[in-house]
Structure formats: structure tokens, C-alpha cells
Amino acid sequence: MQDMRGYQFCEVGLITGADQDTAIANIWNTTCASDPTPEQLDALDADAVAREHGALRAWLTPARHCMFDRLDMWEVGGDRTFGGLSGTWTSLASATDITKATARDSYDPGYVYRNHTVTFNNGSEVYFLVAPDGEVFVMQSFSRDVDPTLSEDNLPHLAARLELPEGWGFRAEVLDQDLEVSSSEDNLAHVLYDNLDNVYQGSDVGRAFSPPFLEDSFR
């Protein structure tokens, strides 16, 4: 799918299992399945969604906006309906990892199983977090849920709004070649949320970024 930058979507996760330690979260994405309105998102109730689908609990995201230009999906599942929204199964994670990755302010990434590639085109402005250990995380989507004033126009100055832990950095870069971001060989993506609920995927020791040498330019 081309021309994805700015596209609005949301996700619904259903957490199932005997207990939190062994539970998994299956995740449905509204991309190409429905076009969520603010009213539909506001009407979703996590407890009601969990009861309807027999889950331990449900995990709901606010509306998000893609920051990549192209999406290629190699593995998807069936659609489900949540309130007035339809979503397509795209990924899964352990409940522990998804809880860790989505915790605002933690800057503690977790792994999500998914099989797709996103492409940031040559000439696109792209936003990176750099972890103390050198791993680079590229922003894949942003949200206005925490900061309603957030927009593509002010993302280059996001560093002033982030509460980065010691040793972390933020960079805005205009690409001089395409950047492809995919999962590693086992289809695990290293995912991180910042304190404004924006979502990033990590380079994962160079395995997720193509060209892989991009990570080296941040050292």
C-alpha cells in the first residue's frame, strides 16, 4: 500500500490465556478494514470488548497516524468487529511484552510478532530515538491522544516535548535513500512507545533496518 504517510488507524488487542504471566495479545488493525471516527473510538469500552470476545482484557489504542510511506504485509488473519469498527489480525505479543512496550514513560521496548515491512521514501523527514546502548528506533506512527497539538509540522521539534531518560537522544533526519524497516528473521519487531504515545520500531542490532549501515551513522 502506497501513500500511507498521514493515514489514520487504530488497533485493538485481545489478551487471552490462563493468567497474565502466560497470556498473549492478538492484535487487530483497522488499516484497510475500516476508517475509525473519533466518535467510534470514544464509544469503545475495553471491558465490553473483552467480555464480547471472551478475553481476559482488551487493549485499545487511540487514533494513530502513519509516518511511513509504504506498507507491505506478508501475513494477516481474519477480520473482527469491535463496536462499529472492523480490524484485520496483524500481530501478536506476550501480554508481558505488550504491557511493557506500551507503558508511557518507561522507554522499555518489547517484542511483537508481525510479518510486514514499512518503507520511508528517499526525501522523507524521519524521526529517531537513540537508546544508550546505540539501538536506533524510528517513529512509525504518532498520536494526538496525550498532546492534541501534535502534528507533522511540529514533530521535528519533538525533543522539547519528550521526557527522555538519561542517555537517550532524539534526531530528525531527511533521508537520502529509502529506509525499509521489517521484522528480524523470526518476525519479531522491537517496539517502543514514548511518553506522548508515539510508536517506534528498533533497528534490533541492525537486523530490522535496510540499509543496515544507517544505525552506524548515529554512533
C-alpha cell at 158: 519533538
pLDDT given at position 103: 73
Give DSSP secondary structure letters for 86-116: EEEEEEEEEHHHHHHHT-TTT---EEEEE-E
Residue 199: name the closest of 65, 73, 76 by CA. Answer: 65
Q: Is 123 left (phi over 0), alpha (psi -120 to 50) or beta?
A: left
pTM: 0.93
Q: How many CA atoms lie within 13 A of 58 on its CB side?
A: 18
| DSSP H or E stretch at residue 14 | strand 11-16
pLDDT, tens digit (0-9, with 9 covering 90-100), for 63-97: 999 999 999 998 999 999 998 899 999 999 998 88
pLDDT given at position 219: 66
pLDDT given at position 213: 63
